[in-house]
Every structure is written in C-alpha cells, then in structure tokens.
Structure 1
C-alpha cells in the first residue's frame, strides 16, 4: 500500500499542482507493476532525443503496457527543458476497436538519496480512457531537467535513474454503437437502358448488364431469362444489385427507389411491371421474381421481344444513406 510522507525535504520542487497539470507526492513504496533502471542517462539523451525510448511491455489489469521516456522533452509537442514520460497501451491493434479501457495510473521517479519515490498523477482526472484514438497518456512536463539533474535531489546519481509505473484498470466497456441516417442533398437519379440481345441463347442461367452509376455507387441489372424462385418457368425475374468494385462503406445501407420497365418495341411504349422503395445493403437484391410473364413477354404483338432482343430499363433513385457510427 502506498503511504504519503512529508513533502518538506523537497519543498523547493513546487509539489503543488502546476500549469502542466501534474500532481506530485512522495511514497516510500515502490511502483507495483514495473520499473525501468537507466544506468547511462547521457547516452540515452543522445540516442533517443527525437522519438523517445520505449520500455519492454508489462502486464497490468489484463492488458499490456509500456513506458515511453523522452529524456530531452517530447519534441513533437515542442517540449523543452523537461522530462516527458507516458504510459502507452501496447498491442492496441489486436484489441477490438469498439473497446475502451479506463485506468488509474501513477508514474514514479526514485529519489536515490532518500530511498523513496516521487509520484506523479494527473491533477485533473484520476481515470484515463484509453482507446483507438488515444493510446497513451502521461506528462509532457514531468519534471524540469534542472531539477532532475541536480544531484542533491537524488533523481540522477552516477548517470543512473529509476522510473516506474503502476496501472489499475477501473473498468472496460464497449463504446456505444450507433448509426446516422443522412438524406442526399439532391436525390441522385439514373436511368439505365439495357439491350439484351440473342435472348433465345441465354438459357436458364442469369446474366448481368454492364455496370452503371447512381448516387456515387456502381449498380448492375441481373436477369433470369427463365425466372427464379416462384417465377421459375413462368416469368422473367429481374433484380438490381451493387456492382464491383463495391463502393458502399461496411455496415451502411442506401435508401433506394427503383423502377423496372420493358419497352414495347412496336409502339415504343414502356411497360412497368415492377417498382418499389427499400433499404439496400451490400449482398442484397431489389426486384421481382415475377417481373413479366413468359407468355406475355413472347407474344409477338406485344413487342417486348423483337429480333431476339428486348429492351430493359432500370430507373434508380438514391434518397439517403445509413452509416455506422
């Protein structure tokens, strides 16, 4: 158990909360989880002046951590004339991106003259939240270099210093999930005409139209000449699908209005047997298993099949998108 002792021996270090937000105290107990002893501090300042020194990994609270030490201050944050020290959660890439880890941690610096430790804590919040966007926490200005290198303070003796850390995981939780339904500022409408030639040679298998674009996404028409499902053998089946490459973000859905038409090539009129509105996601199809009956489709006077070709039209309107947060 950590015990707090008198602050008088080093009152000149200004142990009260300062502008850097660091709360300092003394403890006669060593850090619970990890210590780093550096026996060649001057060499460290030369080699790790830019990126800092990373310790080996250590485990605390079921997670792996490491310390990152900047002997001349964190240059990336324009810190000068101070020691910078941080606690970093290690192996974060292997963690589920939706998890957050709340930890209460303290960093330690050994006073080799007195045999106790100067303890550093965040003066503003005891619990820090580590997650994908914030994998480290600590102190840009842990202690001024002038105080650190002053032999009378006992932090650096014979080029040797000792840092440490203790980390207590308070809780972990899965970050809330959510979604955002966004309406297109201008609904995107596309009419694509597909001339299906050599219809009699298509057989019973399905075929695709060439890709076309609607609402910044790639689409294609899927035709079953002999039908599918409950339309098998009696109808043509027609569907709308996303085409490769898939441009829909993972977990997202599009609110789509669609209309399928087939052209009467004798009177140049459209027959519209299928339409609808639906949420569309990757891997699904919109359309009809009974787009048009085989008997009506093949009747010469209807004009749908002429010279062994038919004209299929898809009108696609993208009204909005649902995105995962």
Structure 2
C-alpha cells in the first residue's frame, strides 16, 4: 500500500492510496445526469461501528459560490433513527471520504487535518463543502470521471471508550517515611546484601546493596537499590544516603521512578566511590559499620475509573 500527500486545501488533507475504502463504495454511472438534474443525492445505507450511515453528494456544491471554481460537496451523515437514541446521544468518529482515480488505479483520500468529529442531535452530518473542484473532477486526464462514471467511498471508524482508566494522585508523606539499615562487619561483606523487609506508605520495600559494586563499577563503587516488594503500579520519589557519623555530612542521592510489574527495582549502580567510603576522616565507615537510610519523599495512588456512560449502565 502506498500513500502520498498531494495537496491541502482549506485545512483538508488529500492523499493517494492503493487500497479501496473499507466500508462503502458509491458508484455513479451517469454523473452528467446527476449534475444537470439533481441538486443533492443520498446513497444507500451502510453500517460501520454499530451505526448506520449514508453519503450525501452535491454535484454542483452545497452552496452557490462566486468566482470561477465550483466544487463537488460530499458528506457523511447518520442514517440511524435518532429518535430511538438517548436525548444526549453522540458518536465520535474518525472518517475519510474517497474518489477513485481510474487512470492511476488509486483512491484520492480526503480528510480533515483533525479527522475526529462528533455527531450529535444538532450535528448529524459532517463532510467537505470543497471536496473536489468540479473542473478538476471533469478533466479526463485526472481520471476521476471516465465514460461519465465515477466512484466515491467512505471509511468510518467509531471511537468507543472502553470505560476503563486510572486516576493517579500523588500524596506527600508526612511521617514514618525513613528506614535505617545498619550494616556491620562491612569489610567482610558478601558480594550482595539485602535488608529486612520494611513498610513505608502502606507498601513493602527492601534495600539491595552491592558492597563491592556491580557491572563496570565492580571493585570501585558501592551499588545501592530500592526494591518494591508489592506488585503494583506506583510512582515514588526517594532518597538514599550513607550517614556520616563523624562530620554529619551524609552522602545522598535522589531518584524518581514508576514501579510496575516490569520495573520493581530502582537505584544507583555507582552510588559512591569505595575510596570515599573507606576514608576514615569522612565518617562513613565507623568501627567497620556503615548506616544506610532510605527516605520515601512522595508516593502515588492509582485508582481505577469508569467513564460516565458505564456508570449510568451500572445504576
């Protein structure tokens, strides 16, 4: 399938494509008769997206115009008996209208630059007053009208909201937001250490520590991570620090992350250099013990929501 933008008039997007319209084909075998005798013609009814539609064509244009150019007007209209629909009914639609180019074996596709439209009680028809210049349409070299025959078409995609979504609300924690982890005999620590499970903000967490680092920083830096034990979607902003027990100049880093089923861990593969950690004047390691803290600054809550239509049905 190919698609090429060929021009744009009055904020309409016009492209060429190989594939025929997926919902309706409207063939006219005597366009000249239509042009001379019929101001407006409505096609048969077709169904798309659970609703009934029709095409409405004005061969000489929907409105009289001054100037040289006359346009064919083409519209998509709701054909359902709207009296059977709720008083506040609406149909959100992404649609395209077409005319076939017999010479190039392609369809000229016409759509709004913003193709989504809302049909409702006061607006049952949308389309294009300047669908195509009549002069251009009747020129045989353009291929739209061959042997007095032309083909129009439509694609109609109704946008239906599933009724599901989520509401993300962020809450600042005011208390019980710090966990302290004391690591003794640090010099003899294994490659990987894990804290006890702790609870902050109603969630369960753990800290992971690589005393000698991991990946490319192995042997050079301390690696430190925060792990969400609970399996849920959650936004968190947090700080992790190694306390300076001598000077009070703690080493700290901050991060933000959206935890989910795929991401349950966030932290720093290069948290701090081991040379700083083992420098006794800096107070991070005292009597071969380091003290790590994590502070959860902000958490989010994610709640399911329903669209108003679904709520009405549940009542």
TM-score by length of 2: 0.48
